[in-house]
Amino acid sequence: MRRILIGIVLVVLAVVAAGGVFYVGAGRGFFGHELAAGTPNASPVPADVLAARLAGAPPAAEGEDDLILFGDLHVHTTYSTDAFLWSLPMNGGKGAHPVADACDFARFCSGLDFWSITDHAEASTPLRWTRTKEAVRQCQATAGQGQTPDLITFLGFEWTQVGRTPQEHFGHKNVIFETLNEDEVAARPIAAAGVPTDTLRRQATGINPVVALRDWPNRQPYFDFNRFIRNAQKVPDCDATKPSNELPKDCFEQAATPGDLVRKLDEQKLKPLVIPHGSSWGFYTPPGTSWDKALAPEDHPERFRLIEVFSGHGNSEEFRPWQDIVASPDGRTGFCPEPTKNYVPSCWRAGQIIEQRCLKEGASAQECANRAIEARSNAANMGIAYHLSVPGAEAEDWVDSGQCTDCFVPPFMHRPRTSVQYGLAIRRFDENPNNPARFTWGFIGSSDNHRARPGTGYKPVDRRVNTESSGPVDQATRELMLGKAKEKVTRSVLIPQDQLMRMAGFQMTELERQSAFFTTGGLAAVHAKARSREAIWDALNQRHTYATSGPRILLWFDRVDGKARDPMGAEVTTDKVPTFEARALGAFKQKPGCPDFASAGVDADRLKTLCSGECYNPTDQRMKITRFEVVRIRPQAQRGEAVEALIEDPFLVLPCKDEGMGCSVKFSDPDYGKTKRDTIYYVRAIQEPDGLINGKPIECLERDKDGRCQKIKPLCVGDWRSGNDDCVAQVEQRAWSSPIYFSYPKPLFGRVQ
């Protein structure tokens, strides 16, 4: 009888994992249930607490009345597939993180002024979208209305596009709406068409039943996850031939390109913010991808007013001239470039690993050198799956290859040609050579947190939930998820493109290695006229914004012309030599624990689980600003102009003598009138070193005669092997102003010089 029961259980679990349609009543059952969005905490944030926050951001100059407000416009809950996966017990997760948790975290833990929900559209359903809207409206009602709410909540979704080739890849965009009114938000989230979405909706079968069997006491979340997948798959596709405004609300809508996304939003008569993010994160961005194609008029580059410079995935700001691969003229073949001073391509490292194994086996030096050449070619032609060309390679075997070793907190496998600086330097001359298309972004930061925790960068604590670092809880689970370790062969393999195209999701990626690169993420700061929804929205649209790497650094950056000022984000047409003023105050130092109002409004157990027992809890002392770094970019003036000569980083370094009250600097650029070129300026305010989780993910222990890394300290990975270590490193946290865009007056007749 026992064997029969076990057999029944196994069959039932297999059906659940395959997405069978079963219900047990309306509640929590053996076959899983649809997660709720939760109800926010109704306790108020005291008025004196809000007043103290505003008093901490004094105006830059006499007569100015702007407020500096801080928010997070990139937050996921368990309504996102990856967030749900990371919440499961097999990944060390601590359970579901609903929308209501994000509201409570922003109000009581991180003490933000504004935030937005941005769950992945690809896993959305009509029910989840309805529940999300209800929860954010409840959050706003709880926080208050009018001009004095303790938190402003925005509604949004993420369009999560991933292409398998550089030509197909456009990257991720957050879509955020101004109001919460039903007729002023999308009828349904619009997903990114393509292989990842098709895999989720057509091929995903949920969690392997063996996992639930091994973790039987915690089985319910696995059943719930499989129900989550099945419910997403049940939503019928929208009719692709109909305009978005004519579609029913209960279908699944997709857009293949940024232009399609904008068109569908326009068809619904919506004008949300559409914000690119994680642009240079190589985890999913194919080698060789660049911003160039995104300037095509059909993709509406003018609609992207802001860009997320820094997040929990790292810093997408900096350009470097090295290449990860060199493509053939037809784009069909990849060649592995040689290493440069601060960069070793991962395809090159693949050759080193194979050569070292080959020599250890006893083969001749010539034979091993030939195998290294073959390995580099194989890796260069497998895109983000290059690591599969070297079976048996562990994360540490790749040392610092593929990484930007001289960037500030770079993303994993940084792609320089999708960096913010590269995007600002390029232009498209095809349609109008005298007025070529270009990007004019304002800068923000955000967290990209997947555990409903907006604004986690206030303290470097609890890496497992305040960053995305997670992974299998033991070796057996690791083998179930990723397979058993492969034999360390002495010859690389080439997986054909058609086979790679059939591989789903994380099979192609370096899931473990990249988990050591996750940080707590950044913040979006705005210079707003009031602490209201309308004022914040206006500041975002006007690009009166800046980004921070997490701390609440105060930053002002203006072009000064007599008594007139043009703030960060402005566009100026002039032939006069520009003069600038920048001012910054360091973030408040933090006290341990949570402030009294949080403890009064939330019980102790809830504070421990929701906030990890640590909240934004400022003292009256500030960190010091050590210097300003000025970046000057002169966008291309003619087709094909080399980008590396156009980006001056830094253009100037201006030291500060901060004695606790911040510092202010002025500078000019006499070259502007000499070159007569359009020019972009922005500043970075650099703060004294402070702790950041995974701030330095790679530490080299051994170098060869050429100074290239051969051995690294074990990575602080997301799985059980790194224990409870928060992996904190001292880094120079910073704030990035939005650029000021200068156009030099052009002749009435004639072409761009």
Q: Give the three-state DSSP class for 598.
A: helix
What are the strands, taking DSSP E only, across 222-352?
253-255, 273-277, 306-311, 314-315, 326-327, 334-335
Pick from 156-160, 407-411, 507-511: least confident: 507-511
Does the domain made of 37-177+254-320+416-469+518-552+588-622 have the CATH classification 3.20.20.140? yes
**pLDDT band for position 14 (50/70/90)?**
very low
> Which residues sit opposite 686 in a β-bridge?
627, 734
pLDDT for the residue numbered 748: 66
pLDDT for 529 beyond 90:
yes
DSSP 724: T
Give pLDDT tens digits for 209-249: 788 888 889 999 999 999 999 999 999 999 999 999 999 99
The two three-digit tokens of residue 646, written as one number: 């156009």
CA distance 664 to 666: 7
% residues pLDDT > 90 (the chain):
78
Predicted pLDDT at 29? 43
- Band of pLDDT at residue 9, cut at 50, 70 and 90: very low
Is residue 667 within 8 A of residue 624, CB to CB? The reply is no
Query: What's the pLDDT score for residue 10?
Result: 28
Note the pLDDT tens digit of each residue in 554-574: 999 999 999 999 999 999 999
With b for 16 or more beta-carbon neighbours within 10 A and e for fewer, the 25-63 pattern comes to eeeeeebbbebebbbbbeeebeeeebeebeebbeebeee
Where do the H-state alpha helices sit in 426-578? 463-466, 475-482, 497-501, 511-514, 533-541
Round the average pLDDT of the chain to a whole number and report it. Answer: 90
> What are the tens digits of pLDDT across the range 126-136?
999 999 999 99
Q: Cα(504)–Cα(599) distance, rounded to whole angstroms?
A: 45
For residue 60, the model assigns a pLDDT of: 63
- Over residues 153-178, the mean pLDDT reads 95
DSSP characters for 175-192?
Answer: EEES---GGGS-SS-EEE
At 341, the pLDDT band (50, 70, 90 cuts) reads confident
* 6-15, 530-539, 556-565, 580-589: least confident range: 6-15
Kindly state the tokens that stand for 711.
Answer: 């051995």
Q: What is the pLDDT of residues 312-337, one digit of tens each?
A: 999 999 999 998 888 766 556 789 99
| Whether the Cβ atoms of residue 664 and residue 625 lie closer than 8 Å to each other | no
Tell me what pLDDT residue 300 has: 95
The CA distance from 599 to 497, in Å, is 56
**CA distances, 70 to each of 111, 282, 404, 546, 666 (Å):** 9, 28, 29, 10, 25
- Spatial CA neighbour of 119 closest among 174, 201, 186: 174
Separation between Cα atoms, residue 633 and residue 426, nearest integer Å: 10
In this prediction, residue 739 has a pLDDT band, given cuts at 50, 70 and 90, of very high
pLDDT tens digits along 77-110: 999 999 999 999 999 998 999 999 999 999 999 9
**3-state secondary structure (DSSP) of residue 538:** helix
Spatial CA neighbour of 446 closest among 519, 520, 521, 517:
521
Task: Name the residue with tokens 């057509």.
Answer: 202
Task: Lowest mean pLDDT of 35-39, 202-206, 405-409, name the range.
Answer: 202-206
284 pLDDT exceeds 90? no
Q: What is the mean pLDDT of residues 397-419?
A: 96
Indicate if the alpha-carbon torsion angle 245, 145, 130, 254 is positive or negative: positive
CA separation for the pair 221, 191 (Å, rounded): 25
What is the reported pLDDT for 37? 95
B/e letters for 480-518, b = 16+ CB within 10 Å, e = fewer, are bbeeeeeebebebeebeeeebeebebeebbbbbbbbbbb
Read off the pLDDT of each residue in 623-641 and give the average, rounded to a whole number.
97
How far apart CA 403 and CA 715 sit, in angstroms, is 14
Burial class of residue 694, CB neighbours in 10 A (0-12, 13-18, 19+): buried
pLDDT band at 680 (very low <50, low <70, confident <90, very high): very high
In sequence order, the 6+-apart residues with CB closer than 8 A to the CB of 161 are 169, 170, 171, 172, 173, 192, 194, 257, 258
pLDDT in tens, 438-491: 999 999 999 999 999 999 999 999 999 999 998 999 998 888 777 788 899 999
**Percent of the chain residues topping a pLDDT of 70:** 93
Using alpha carbons, list the distances in angstroms from residue 368 to 352, 356, 711: 10, 8, 21
pLDDT bracket for residue 24 (50, 70, 90): very low
Rounded Cα distance between 241 and 317, Å, is 39
Would you state the pLDDT for residue 650? 97
State how far the Cα of 118 lies from the Cα of 153, in Å rounded to an integer: 11
What is the pLDDT, as a whole number, of residue 747? 76
Q: What is the spatial distance between Cα 692 and Cα 714, in angstroms, rounded to a whole number?
A: 18
Q: Where in the chain is the domain with CATH 3.20.20.140?
A: 37-177+254-320+416-469+518-552+588-622
pLDDT for 208 equals 80
What does the pLDDT average to over 265-270?
98
Q: How far apart are CA 664 and CA 684, in angstroms?
A: 13
Q: Which amino acid appears at position 161 of this protein? A: Q
